[in-house]
């Protein structure tokens, strides 16, 4: 079993180290998102400058799922610092418990999202950090704009 693990690990390291042609220093990152809603984030590059990001977060004792498509370009001509921009959609669910808080008196909301931010990939360690603002507009409620979703994300990249 240990030999199989070593073989798989070595193959993965070899495969990842031979990847080239990507403007990013990584293909996939997973980590924590701390901000307005806190959660978990996973980002994967599908093209050299295009990534998809999934976020699972908690807001007002509810659970949210967000999917984003993001473009990345070098920011301020600094290596490993990238400007992030993109759009996506979200859905949030709240339980019907007496202690749970459900905005708008609903058990769920759906909406569209934008994202703007900066991301830095460290050279010495497989970590990146990003800071972003993710405004959202809920489609199934009146006056459903949330402009308070800003966050700091820290990801392990590979």
Question: pLDDT confidence of 148, banded at 50, 70, 90?
Answer: confident
- Using CA atoms, how far residue 48 sits from 26, 71, 80, 152, in Å, is 10, 9, 14, 23
Predicted pLDDT of residue 22: 42
Predicted pLDDT of residue 7: 45
Q: Which of 127, 136, 119, 137 is nearest to 78 (CA)?
A: 119
Query: Which residue has tokens 């070593």?
Result: 6
Which two structure tokens, joined as six digits, stand for 50? 């295009």
Predicted pLDDT of residue 153: 95
pLDDT digits (tens, 9 = 90+) for 78-128: 989 999 999 999 998 887 654 555 665 667 889 999 999 999 999 889 999
The CATH number assigned to the domain holding 134 equals 2.40.160.20
Of 17-31, 50-64, 101-115, where does mean pLDDT reach its minimum? 17-31
Q: How many domains does the chain have?
A: 1
- Using CA atoms, how far residue 131 sits from 10, 34, 103, in Å, is 33, 10, 26
pTM confidence score = 0.76
| Domain carrying residue 21 | 2-157
Percent of the chain's residues with pLDDT above 70? 75
Q: What mean pLDDT is reported for the chain? A: 81
């Amino acid at each position: 079993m240990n030999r199989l693990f070593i073989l798989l690990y070595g193959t993965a390291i070899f495969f990842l180290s031979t990847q080239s042609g990507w403007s990013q220093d990584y293909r996939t990152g997973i980590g924590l998102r701390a901000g307005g809603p806190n959660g978990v984030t996973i980002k994967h590059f599908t093209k050299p400058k295009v990534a998809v990001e999934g976020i699972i977060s908690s807001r007002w004792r509810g659970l949210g799922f967000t999917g984003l498509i993001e473009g990345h370009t070098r920011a301020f001509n600094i290596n490993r610092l990238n400007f992030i921009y993109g759009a996506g959609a979200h859905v949030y669910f709240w339980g019907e418990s007496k202690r749970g808080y459900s905005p708008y008196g609903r058990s769920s909301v759906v909406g569209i999202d934008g994202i703007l931010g900066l991301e830095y990939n460290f050279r010495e360690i497989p970590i990146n950090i990003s800071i972003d603002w993710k405004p959202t507009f809920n489609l199934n409620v009146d006056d459903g704009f949330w402009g308070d979703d800003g966050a700091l994300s820290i990801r392990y990249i590979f």
